[in-house]
A and B are shown apart, each in its own frame.
Chain A
Amino acid sequence: MRPLNVFSHAQAKWIGVALIAIALIGLPFALASAGTAWVRIANLAILFVFLSLGLNIVVGFAGLLDLGYVAFYAVGAYAYALLASPHFNLHLPPWVILPIGALVACLFGVLLGAPTLKLRGDYLAIVTLGFGEIVRIFLNNLSQPVNITNGPQGISRIDPFHLGAFSFNRTETAFGLVFSGPIKYYYLLLALLLLAIVINLRLQHSRIGRAWEAVREDEVAARAMGINTTRIKLLAFAMGASFGGVAGGMFAAIQGFISPESFVLVESVMVLSMVVLGGMGNVWGVVLGAVLLSFVPELLRYTVEPLQKSLFGKSIIEPEVIRMLLFGLALVLMMLYRPAGLLPSAVRKRELLQPKRSAP
């Protein structure tokens, strides 16, 4: 049976891509009309999508459960903050710092991975969880004897992202449109995100991606096929960590202020939830999961309170409480009806429906 629409499949696909692109380009202006706060929310959402894509390499592709992912985000953020703030009076250009942040985070990834990759499943999760906490506690306490991180006070007045004299913090007018700081950041983050998606997709469909799949499916067989499983798992950790490092650097640049409080366990759990909700191993699923979990809570924050006021005349339940309630409900519903995520990869879906296999 022939489809009735006038466009061929390929044409329809390109029209779809074009529409999404136009929507994404126009989005910040639409959001700005509702308030600059919404543009900032969108920026944070993109940052979280970016983070989720990094974690997806570790959890989704290589199948290693990492509960301390926020540590790499923290390392990237502090790398940026220390190299571009009055704290050490260093002001390196951001395009130099971001790669440094990625590299340092990558190094931390290897540092965590090398001793722990003999562990599997729950055990690996526990060690990574500990690692995340250790990094945060270090950041909290490295203010003496030598003040490196400035402790719980955090680091403030971090340089905004800039390319030469072009700062992403200033409002500018061009083509009759007002480009506020957050809107400029939005486009920068969108470009970075696009890059992240391309890297994710290309890695997945490569020799390396297949090796990750093999390790996830059956480590013994993978080794017998000549895959150096330790190295390939370390590579996943390092790649994921670099993504975290870049995201952290951008976070520091946008916020202008960071402290250890921004890098608590809940953040790791949040990013992991985004990956799991969307569908581990499927890039588009992860993007969807991250967008939903970033935006929906904010939407609730702005709707629940007025709704209660108009219904009961006063606020009965705190929006924060309702947020967490609904969040829990969503997770339960998901476990019941879509255990493999909203948009799972075909392979991952089959894995989740199959009983675990025993060790050699």
Chain B
Amino acid sequence: MSAVLLGCTGLDKRFGGVLALAEVGFSINRGEIYGLIGPNGAGKTTLFNALTGIYASDAGGFSFAGEALAGLRPDQIAARGIARTFQNIRLFGNLSALDNVMIGRHVRTRAGVFGAVLRTRAMRIEEAAIEKRARELLEYVGIAARANDVARQLPYGDQRRLEIARALATEPKLLALDEPAAGMNATETLELKKLLQRVRADGTTILLIEHDMKLVMELCDRVLVLDYGRRIAEGPPREVQRDARVIEAYLGVAGAA
């Protein structure tokens, strides 16, 4: 088993005349927490959408666990073991928290129409297992008490946790999080940090888009910096932090203003 879980080479994505991603390349090792940062509009979410099959890339692409992901649909990519959360939370808002996580189990379970209609033994066993696992995951992210609450009515921080629980329900090898700490207060962010460390310790690799630099610096093993769709730096957070091009991208050139 190679150390590299996700490889990306020469990735281009164009929207009309705008080059949203240009020749982006990187690789993520198994067990890593890999950060993806950059100013607004740098192409971070576009990269997520290309990775998870929502957009087709114009050139280049990803290989995951040794297999090319090009041309696969989002559901096929989820089945391969990549789960994501969304920047602007996309829960199944009118369903209960428990149902949300149970839906996450879809891709790892089998029961079809006949199983459902006939209530076969296998189906009932599977159904019980789905619910058990969903409750465990709610417990894992710390919102077990909210199982029966409507997702949309949960506090913001809990919605973020629920999205992570739902993503974990698909048993991902790679968990891709799009700004999980957005809108969280300091306490919630600290809890999120502990949660993500635990997820990694339990064997899931993490790709993290985040604007909270403190969190990125404390959590990530390596960081990729994008600016205007181009890779401008990569490395351990401490080094990237001192990189002149990164400072320029975030703060502008000294004396230019």
Using CB atoms and an 8 Å cutoff, list the residues of chain A in contact with chain B: 198-199, 202-203, 206-211, 213-214, 217-218, 220-229, 235, 239, 347-348, 350-351, 354, 360
Bound Cα distance A110, B93 (Å): 29
| Known contacts A225-B106, A227-B75, A360-B54; A218 and B90 CB within 8 A of each other | yes
Check A208 against B113 for contact (C-beta < 8 Å): yes
Q: Apart from A202-B116, A207-B127, A225-B78, what are 14 other A-B pairs with CB-CB below 8 Å?
A: A202-B119, A206-B116, A217-B95, A218-B90, A218-B91, A218-B92, A224-B74, A225-B104, A225-B107, A225-B166, A225-B169, A228-B75, A350-B93, A350-B150
Check A213 against B103 for contact (C-beta < 8 Å): yes
Within the complex, which residue of B73, B112, B166 is in contact with A228, where a contact is CB–CB below 8 Å?
A: B73
Within the complex, which residue of B75, B167, B169 is in contact with A223, where a contact is CB–CB below 8 Å?
A: B75
Check B73 against A223 for contact (C-beta < 8 Å): yes
**Residue with the greatest number of chain A CB neighbours at <10 A, chosen from B106, B111, B119:** B106
Min distance, Cβ A332 to any Cβ of chain B, angstroms = 26
Give the residues in chain B near A229, CB-CB below 8 Å.
75
Check B113 against A239 for contact (C-beta < 8 Å): yes
Within the complex, which residue of A199, A220, A351 is in contact with B90, where a contact is CB–CB below 8 Å?
A: A220
Give the residues in chain A near B205, CB-CB below 8 Å.
none
| Known contacts A207-B116, A213-B95, A226-B170; A354 and B78 CB within 8 A of each other | no
What are 21 A-B interface contacts by the 8 Å CB criterion?
A: A199-B117, A202-B117, A203-B116, A203-B117, A207-B112, A207-B126, A210-B99, A214-B92, A214-B106, A218-B92, A221-B86, A223-B54, A224-B54, A225-B78, A225-B170, A229-B75, A347-B95, A348-B94, A350-B152, A354-B94, A354-B152
B160 within 8 A of A: no
Check A224 against B92 for contact (C-beta < 8 Å): no
Give the residues in chain A near B167, CB-CB below 8 Å.
225
Check B107 against A227 for contact (C-beta < 8 Å): yes
Bound Cα distance A189, B73 (Å): 43
Min distance, Cβ B39 to any Cβ of chain A, angstroms = 22
Interface of A: prevailing SS: helix
Check A213 against B92 for contact (C-beta < 8 Å): yes
Within the complex, which residue of B86, B105, B113 is in contact with A203, where a contact is CB–CB below 8 Å?
A: B113
Within the complex, which residue of B112, B126, B130 is in contact with A208, where a contact is CB–CB below 8 Å?
A: B112
Bound Cα distance A239, B117 (Å): 12
Give the residues in chain A near B73, CB-CB below 8 Å.
223, 228
- The 0/1 profile, CB within 8 Å of A marked 1, for residues 78-119 of chain B is 110001101000111111000100111111110111011101
Nearest chain-A residue to B85 (Cβ)? Answer: A224
Min distance, Cβ B232 to any Cβ of chain A, angstroms = 27
Check A206 against B111 for contact (C-beta < 8 Å): yes
Give the residues in chain B near A351, CB-CB below 8 Å.
94
Check A221 against B112 for contact (C-beta < 8 Å): no
Bound Cα distance A222, B100 (Å): 10
Nearest chain-A residue to B99 (Cβ)? Answer: A210
B52 within 8 A of A: yes
Check B86 against A210 for contact (C-beta < 8 Å): no
B143 within 8 A of A: no
Check B94 against A347 for contact (C-beta < 8 Å): yes
Give the residues in chain B near A225, CB-CB below 8 Å.
75, 78, 83, 103-104, 106-107, 166-167, 169-170
| Known contacts A207-B106, A207-B109, A226-B79; A221 and B90 CB within 8 A of each other | yes
Check B103 against A222 for contact (C-beta < 8 Å): yes
Check A217 against B93 for contact (C-beta < 8 Å): yes
Check B106 against A226 for contact (C-beta < 8 Å): yes
**Residue with the greatest number of chain B CB neighbours at <10 A, chosen from A214, A224, A235, A239:** A224
B4 within 8 A of A: no
Min distance, Cβ B107 to any Cβ of chain A, angstroms = 3
Give the residues in chain A near B166, CB-CB below 8 Å.
225
Give the residues in chain B near A207, CB-CB below 8 Å.
105-106, 109, 111-112, 116, 126-127, 130
Give the residues in chain A near B91, CB-CB below 8 Å.
218, 221
The 4 lowest CB-CB distance pairs between A and B, nearest first, are: A226-B107, A226-B78, A206-B116, A223-B74
Min distance, Cβ A245 to any Cβ of chain B, angstroms = 15
Bound Cα distance A227, B103 (Å): 9
B65 within 8 A of A: no
| Known contacts A206-B123, A210-B99; A224 and B94 CB within 8 A of each other | no
| Known contacts A225-B78, A350-B94; A210 and B113 CB within 8 A of each other | no
Check B103 against A224 for contact (C-beta < 8 Å): no
Bound Cα distance A351, B150 (Å): 11
Give the residues in chain A near B107, CB-CB below 8 Å.
225-227
Min distance, Cβ A260 to any Cβ of chain B, angstroms = 31
Bound Cα distance A226, B73 (Å): 9
Nearest chain-B residue to A235 (Cβ)? Answer: B113
